[in-house]
Amino acid sequence: MRHIALITTLAASAVLLAACATTDDKSNPMGFFVTSTNMGKGADLGGLEGADKHCQKLAASVGAGSGTWRAYLSTTGAAPVNARDRIGNGPWVNANGLTVASNNEELHGSNRLAKVTALTEKGEVVKGRGDTPNQHDILTGSSADGKAVPGDKDTTCSNWTSSSSGSAIVGHSDRTGLDESAPAKSWNSSHATRGCDIASLNATGGNGYFYCFKAK
């Protein structure tokens, strides 16, 4: 009888936990964040698929894993992929409930992204210029309009599969740089990294983070 009672109790607990997880998932409207952790191999993210899985995993860790999450990353080559085409059309809310952009056009125009709004999935501020260490370089591989950069130059660390040779375009999550130029203040297209390994990303002010958006 004790064994039966224990099994019944465990089963009931499992159902309760599943119900809580579902409730939490529906109650978290977050649709945008900066990854709070890197993937351990510099800009080698396992391609777009690996990056998307990381977004989905981090979203789920805070009860926002429902729907489809995508990494804001472009790729180059014979069939280039534009970051802006991967993320749906919003609106996108950060971990504090603030709408950072109502749609794709606003995101690539007058959005509300800044140091205090470009938060991680945990609602934490990403360290920026003036902080130690500066980690505001966010991997995008994109031009300012959210598209793949044309030409033969590697701007995506071999389409997010390299942690050695190559380089990647990054944006500044705090919208702050060395001067007042548009690239210095760009959230998605500021400059190229020195390389694709974590040391090179660190050297230019990054830590292998990228943006995640809920596409649908």
Q: Is residue 22 over pLDDT 60?
A: no
pTM for the structure as a whole: 0.87
Residue with tokens 């701007």: 155
Least confident of 19-33, 51-65, 141-155: 19-33
pLDDT band at 26 (very low <50, low <70, confident <90, very high): low
Quote the pLDDT of residue 28: 82
Is 181's pLDDT higher than 60?
yes
User: Measuring CA to CA, how many Å separate 49 from each of 35, 69, 86, 158, 170?
Assistant: 15, 11, 12, 14, 19
